[in-house]
Amino acid sequence: LAKTTQPISMDSYEGQEVNITCSHNNIATNDYITWYQQFPSQGPRFIIQGYKTKVTNEVASLFIPADRKSSTLSLPRVSLSDTAVYYCLVGGHGSSNTGKLIFGQGTTLQVKP
Amino acid sequence: GAGVSQSPSNKVTEKGKDVELRCDPISGHTALYWYRQSLGQGLEFLIYFQGNSAPDKSGLPSDRFSAERTGGSVSTLTIQRTQQEDSAVYLCASSRSITGGGDEQFFGPGTRLTVL
C-alpha cells in the first residue's frame, strides 16, 4: 500500500489560497489520489480525486505532476469554515481492488480571521 | 437518499463488557468499511466488506474485535471484553464498490465509545 506524507498542520488567513502537498513516492500505476476533509465530530467527506495533471471542481483543485509522486490540494480563498483536517489517500481502481485504505494523520488547517 | 447511519451515537460501557456497533450503509453500496479514530488522531482502518465477505481482517486490533455483514447491507462491529484503550469514535463508510480508494466513501456520523 502506498504511504502518504503530509504536513501535520498549516495556518492561513481568510481569503488566502491554501496549498497542501502530499508525498506518495510509492504510488502504483493503478492508484488514484483522493483527498478528504474532516470537521470535528464528523466523519470525513470526499473533496476531490485525480490520476494525473490537474482536476478542478467547485471546492478545490488538485495538481499532480507527471511523476505522480506528490500531489497538491489547492483551496482558493479559504474561509473560517474551511478549518478542518485534510487527508490524502492513494488507492487503485480496477485490478488492484483492495478496500484497505490508509488515511494517515492528515493536515490540520487552521484558518484565522 | 439517506446517508450512512450508525447506532448508537454514543455508548458508555464498563470495562469487560461486550458492545455491538451497528452500521447501515447507503442502499446499493456493495462496499462497507470500519475505521476507528482516537481523540486527536487520524483514522485507523479496521476492516472492509465486499458484499458479505471480509477478505482482509488484519486491521482488527485484537481477537476481541469481530465484524459481520448480512444481506449485503447492515454491518455489526462487536467488541468483546472491552478495555479502556478501546475508547474511540468508530466510523463506518460505504461506497458503490471496492476499488482501493478509487470510489468515493460516504461516512456515517460515528459511534463514540467510552469504556470506563
CB A102 within 8 A of CB A3: yes
Q: Is the confidence at residue B99, as pLDDT, over 80?
A: no
- Is pLDDT at A102 greater than 90 in this prediction? no
Quote the radius of gyration of chain A (alpha carbons, Å): 14
Residues in chain A with CB shorter than 8 Å from the CB of B35 are: 103
pLDDT of amino acid B102: 64
**Distance between CA atoms of residues A47 and B85, nearest Å:** 31
Asked if A87 has any chain B CB less than 8 Å from its own CB, the reply is: yes
From the list A76, A86, A81, A78, the residue with the least C-alpha distance to A47 is: A86
Omega before residue B8 within 30° of 0, cis: yes
Q: Of B29, B116, B42, B44, which Cα lies nearest the Cα of B77?
A: B44
- Residue B86 phi/psi, 5° resolution? -80, -10
Q: How many CB pairs below 8 A link A and B?
A: 87
pLDDT in tens, B39-92: 888 888 899 898 899 888 888 999 999 999 998 899 999 999 999 999 999 999
pLDDT, one tens digit per residue, over A9-24 is 999 999 999 999 999 9
As a whole-number percent, the residues of chain A with pLDDT over 70 amount to: 90
Substitution target in B9, B105, B106 with the highest count of A β-carbons within 10 Å is: B105
B21-48 mean pLDDT? 91
Question: How many Cα neighbours within 13 Å face the side chain of B63?
Answer: 0
Q: Measured between alpha carbons, how far is B113 from B9 in angstroms, rounded to an integer? A: 9
Residue B98 has pLDDT above 80, yes or no: no
Contact B1, B91 (CB under 8 A): no
